[in-house]
Amino acid sequence: MTTVALPPVHTSSAAAGRSRLWRSEWTKLRTVRSTWWTLFAMAVVTLGVAAIAGATVSHNWHTFNVAQRATFDPTGITLKGLLFSQLIIGVLGVLVMSAEYGTGTIRSTLAATPRRARVLAAKAVIVGTLSLVVGEALSFSAFLLGQGLLRSPAPHALLSQPGVTRAVLGGGVVIALLGLFALGLAAIVRHSAGAITTYVGVLLVVPIILQTLPSSFSQPILKFMPFHISDVMTSVVTAGQGSSLSPWAGAGVLGLYALAALGVGGYLLVRRDA
Amino acid sequence: MIKVTELTKRYRDTVAVRELSFEVPAGVVTGFLGPNGSGKSTTMRMIMGLDRPDHGSITINGRSYHDLAHPLREVGALLEAKAIHPGRSAYHHLQYLAETNGIARRRIDEVLDMVGLAEVARRRVGKFSLGMGQRLGIASALLGDPGVLLFDEPVNGLDPEGILWVRNLLKGLAAEGRSVFVSSHLMSEMALTADRLVVIGRGALISEGSVDDFIADTTGSYVRVRGPRLDEIARALESNGASIEPDGDDALAVSGLDIVEIGEIAGERRLVLHELSPQAASLEEAFMSLTHDSVEYHGHATDVVVATGK
Ligand SMILES: Nc1ncnc2c1ncn2[C@@H]1O[C@H](COP(=O)(O)OP(=O)(O)OP(=O)(O)O)[C@@H](O)[C@H]1O
Ligand SMILES: [Mg+2]
């Protein structure tokens, strides 16, 4: 074989190392089809729900009673599809980590970067950025599509109205934070099926179980559940003020979920055998 | 060069590796031999910083793996055949590895060429045959042009042509001055490839040294003796310090004396010999007897450690 001298590494600074890791994680993410399938599925459900909601509300507006008309939230209704996207981004976030364990590539990855916390940090940067960009793009598209389909006499929302831009931006933020939460879960659980089950359990199953319990017990917990928070964050008109966190506090709680999962996942990644 | 010192690794109730010390010097192929489950893969994973030893240390070119700034430029490894995402192309697999360690793009094409995968580089790895997967693993190991290379059972699943290719590749890499460490449970394969051997059984060192020394020191090469009055021959040789074992029905396996001495002793007592032939046990037999010992007398495994001649 021929030995080819490699050019020296020009920049050995920490920053250069970081950006190399980011590029590598981006290469991994964009070179598997599951990434594009999950993003495609998110687009279909988010925009699909926005279109259906806009069209059916316009069609059925005459059947709405006074109370329904008073609390009608044209922003929130067109962003409901993001709930499905939250489940799907979880799959993407999980796979970024668990697929490495499933296929054994985690060994190549960690041999190339023995400072393991940096690997998870780079994955978080890539997953966070991609899900934020995609989440915001979908949130805004869903909003615009839905508003375009809301026909008077049904009211429609404008970004310039109070709380509307906050809600639409919030949709993307929720997607990004939940993607990071799923990534952290997968670093803890390491198996795709186990991590996805845990994620869906936290998002869907726990709230359903809570709802079967006495509300004096479940209410204080329910407002910390991701779906509930995301509902508040993507709505302009919120029902039952006292039983919900504010959109900002909600975003903070979701951020804590992500941080906690990534923190524990990172600790375990460093400690455990690969 | 790799230096392993008093390495111990436990998994719950099994001790996979115990107080293992050895070196992998530059410029030669060091074979890593042991029966199934003896701890070869575990040791290699620890060298690559993937599993954490319970005790002991490993240095690569004098430094711990964790402290290598660009590990792929110093150590390359083929650990498992399928440590590759089936949905990714061979090129992209190498690309993300190259990116982490700042390795130039053109090097990817070079190693793909080297292992003969240039034509299928853009195809998804899931469609690869076992041999192609193995070649891609080898390409990953060579990617950073490292001075230290580890191969865990590299010929697994390869056809004869592939086996020959790997054998020559390993020798070539060593001839360029690299440290090459290759595991196998097939002694015959190592006999053809390795210059040095590290032999383990049940996670502990049995022998370390050159292949020639290994055969000489551990096979207990013996002399086969046949004759009409075997009992008398046996007694005569034993009184001269030989150790005797039956070798089939009509022959003796004599060790401790060479053919000249045996011939002299028999001649003095006028004992007719029908055969007097030196027997060199094959490397395979040496390995079998050694690892058999390590199973049977595992408490005394250190008794048979061969001087390493360093
Ligand atoms: N991750 C693990 N968890 C628990 N036990 C393990 C683990 N890895 C290895 N072992 C145990 O450690 C011992 C050594 O295994 P190892 O795979 O290192 O052997 P090996 O020499 O590579 O065998 P083979 O020739 O079959 O590849 C075995 O008893 C195995 O069961
Ligand atoms: Mg093995």
- What is the rounded CA–CA span in Å between residue A96 and residue B271? 79
Distance from CA of B290 to the nearest CA of A (A): 31
Q: CB atoms < 10 A from the CB of B86, how many? A: 15
Give the residue, B83 or B274, on which the prediction is more confident.
Answer: B274
Q: What is the mean pLDDT of residues B4-30?
A: 95
Cα-to-centroid distance, B40 and ligand 2 (Å): 5
Which residues of A lie closer than 8 Å to B, measured between beta carbons?
Answer: 1-7, 9-10, 12, 16, 20-21, 23-25, 27-28, 31-34, 99-100, 103-105, 107-115, 273-274
Q: With 70 as the cut, is the pLDDT of residue B309 above it?
A: no
**Do A272 and A123 meet the contact criterion of CB atoms below 8 Å apart?**
no
Any alpha helices (H) in chain B, and if so which ranges? 40-47, 90-100, 105-114, 130-142, 160-175, 187-193, 211-218, 230-239, 259-268, 283-296
Alpha-carbon distance values, B300 to A274, B202, B205, B256, B290 (Å): 33, 12, 11, 22, 12
Q: With 60 as the cut, is the pLDDT of residue B129 above it?
A: yes
Q: What are phi and psi of B10, to 5 degrees?
A: -115, 140
H/E stretch holding A76 reads helix A74-78
Give me the residue label for tokens 């490699």. Answer: A6
Mutate to test the pocket of ligand 1, among B40, B79, B155, B298 (most ligand atoms within 8 A of CB): B40
Kindly indicate the confidence band of residue B187, based on its pLDDT and cuts at 50, 70 and 90.
confident
Burial of A159 from C-beta contacts in 10 A (0-12 / 13-18 / 19+): middle
Is B33 inside any structural domain?
yes
Extract the runs of DSSP E, i.e. beta strands, from chain A.
Answer: none
Q: What is the mean pLDDT of residues A169-194?
A: 98
ipTM score assigned to the predicted complex: 0.88
Is B294 inside any structural domain?
no
Q: With 50 as the cut, is the pLDDT of residue B296 above it?
A: no
- What is the rounded CA–CA span in Å between residue A268 and residue A251? 26
Which chain B residues are closer than 8 Å to A1 by Cβ?
114, 142, 169, 172-173, 176
Average per-residue pLDDT in chain B?
Answer: 87
Q: Which residue type occupies B123?
A: R
Cα-to-centroid distance, A268 and ligand 2 (Å): 25
Is B67 inside any structural domain?
yes
Do B200 and B244 share a structural domain?
no
Which residues fall within 8 angstroms of residue A233, CB to CB, at 6 or more apart? A167, A170, A171, A173, A174, A247, A250, A251
Q: Which residue of A has its CA nearest to B166?
A: A1
Which chain B residues are closer than 8 Å to A34 by Cβ?
87
Q: What is the mean pLDDT of residues B182-201?
A: 88
Final residue before a domain boundary, out of B175, B197, B215: B215
Distance from CA of B66 to the nearest CA of A (A): 5
- What is the rounded CA–CA span in Å between residue B202 and residue B291? 9
| Candidate from B95, B104, B176 with C-beta closest to A27 | B95
Q: With 90 as the cut, is the pLDDT of residue B212 above it?
A: no
**A111 and B48: CB-CB below 8 Å?**
yes
Region at B169 (left for phi over 0; alpha for psi -120 to 50; beta for the rest): alpha
Do B270 and B171 share a structural domain?
no
Residue nearest to atom 8 of ligand 1 (CA): B42
Residue nearest to atom 7 of ligand 1 (CA): B11
Q: With 60 as the cut, is the pLDDT of residue B299 above it?
A: no
Q: What are phi and psi of B149, to 5 degrees?
A: -130, 135
- What is the rounded CA–CA span in Å between residue A264 and residue B44? 28
- What is the rounded CA–CA span in Å between residue A109 and residue A94? 16
List pLDDT tens digits, range B59-68: 999 999 999 9
Distance from CA of B140 to the nearest CA of A (A): 9
Distance from CA of A260 to the nearest CA of B (A): 25
**Do B78 and B154 meet the contact criterion of CB atoms below 8 Å apart?**
yes
Q: What is the pLDDT of residue B219?
A: 56
Closest by CA position to A85, among listed A20, A145, A147, A135: A135
Do B59 and B31 share a structural domain?
yes
Final residue before a domain boundary, out of B164, B180, B215: B215
- What is the rounded CA–CA span in Å between residue A223 and residue A240? 11
Any alpha helices (H) in B101-252, and if so which ranges? 105-114, 130-142, 160-175, 187-193, 211-218, 230-239
- What is the rounded CA–CA span in Å between residue B76 and residue A14? 23
Do B141 and B105 share a structural domain?
yes
**Do B203 and B294 meet the contact criterion of CB atoms below 8 Å apart?**
no
List pLDDT tens digits, range B33-51: 988 889 999 999 999 999 9
Q: What is the pLDDT of residue B81?
A: 54
At B261 the three-state DSSP class reads helix
| Candidate from B71, B89, B114 with C-beta closest to A112 | B71
Give the residue, B171 or A237, on which the prediction is more confident.
Answer: B171
Q: Which residue type occupies B233?
A: I
Q: What is the pLDDT of residue B257?
A: 84
User: Considering the entire predicted model, what is its pTM?
Assistant: 0.85
Do B203 and B258 share a structural domain?
no
Q: CB atoms < 10 A from the CB of A60, how many? A: 10
Q: Interior CA angle at B177 toward B135 and B175, to 5°?
A: 65
Q: With 70 as the cut, is the pLDDT of residue B101 above it?
A: yes
Give me the residue label for tokens 């070079």. Answer: B110
Between A33-47, A163-177, A189-203, B153-167, the lowest mean confidence (pLDDT) is in B153-167
Mutate to test the pocket of ligand 1, among B9, B14, B156 (most ligand atoms within 8 A of CB): B14
CA torsion B90-B183-B77-A107 (nearest 10°) is: 80
Q: What is the pLDDT of residue A134?
A: 98
Final residue before a domain boundary, out of B161, B191, B215: B215
What range does the domain containing B268 cover? 221-280
Tell me the CA end-to-end span of chain A in Å, nearest whole number: 32
Q: Interior CA angle at A251 toward A129 and A144, to 5°?
A: 65
Q: What is the pLDDT of residue A135?
A: 98
Total of domains in chain B: 2
Q: What is the CATH number of the domain that holds B109?
A: 3.40.50.300
Is B118 inside any structural domain?
yes
Which residues fall within 8 angstroms of residue A66, CB to CB, at 6 or more apart? none
- What is the rounded CA–CA span in Å between residue A190 and residue A104? 11
Which structure tokens are listed for B78?
């083929």
**Do B47 and B64 meet the contact criterion of CB atoms below 8 Å apart?**
no
Q: With 90 as the cut, is the pLDDT of residue B23 above it?
A: yes
Q: Which residue of B has its CA nearest to A14?
A: B69
Give the residue, B297 or B292, on which the prediction is more confident.
Answer: B292
The residues with which B50 forms a beta bridge, in sequence order, are: none
- Boundaries of every domain in chain A: 19-271
List pLDDT tens digits, range A210-262: 888 888 888 888 889 999 999 999 999 865 556 788 999 999 999 999 999 99
List pLDDT tens digits, range B71-91: 999 999 999 656 889 999 999
Residue nearest to atom 9 of ligand 1 (CA): B42
Do B258 and B139 share a structural domain?
no
Ligand nearest to the CA of B32: 1
Between A120-124, A187-191, B81-85, B138-142, the lowest mean confidence (pLDDT) is in B81-85
Point out the ligand 1 atom lying closest to the alpha carbon of residue B9.
12
Which chain A residues are closer than 8 Å to B83 by Cβ?
103-105, 107-108
Average per-residue pLDDT in chain A?
Answer: 92
Helical pair A82-103 and A226-233, crossing angle rounded to 10 deg: 130
Is B292 inside any structural domain?
no
Do B211 and B230 share a structural domain?
no
Q: What is the CATH number of the domain that holds B264?
A: 3.30.70.980
- Say how far residue A264 (Cα) sits from the centre of its chain: 19
Residue nearest to atom 30 of ligand 1 (CA): B37
List pLDDT tens digits, range A13-71: 788 888 999 999 999 999 999 999 999 999 999 999 999 999 999 999 999 999 999 88
Do B252 and B103 share a structural domain?
no
Q: What is the pLDDT of residue B294?
A: 59
**A6 and B104: CB-CB below 8 Å?**
yes
List pLDDT tens digits, range B244-264: 888 888 899 888 888 888 999
Cα-to-centroid distance, B5 and ligand 2 (Å): 20
- What is the rounded CA–CA span in Å between residue B79 and residue B137? 8
CA torsion B214-B217-B221-B222 (nearest 10°) is: -170
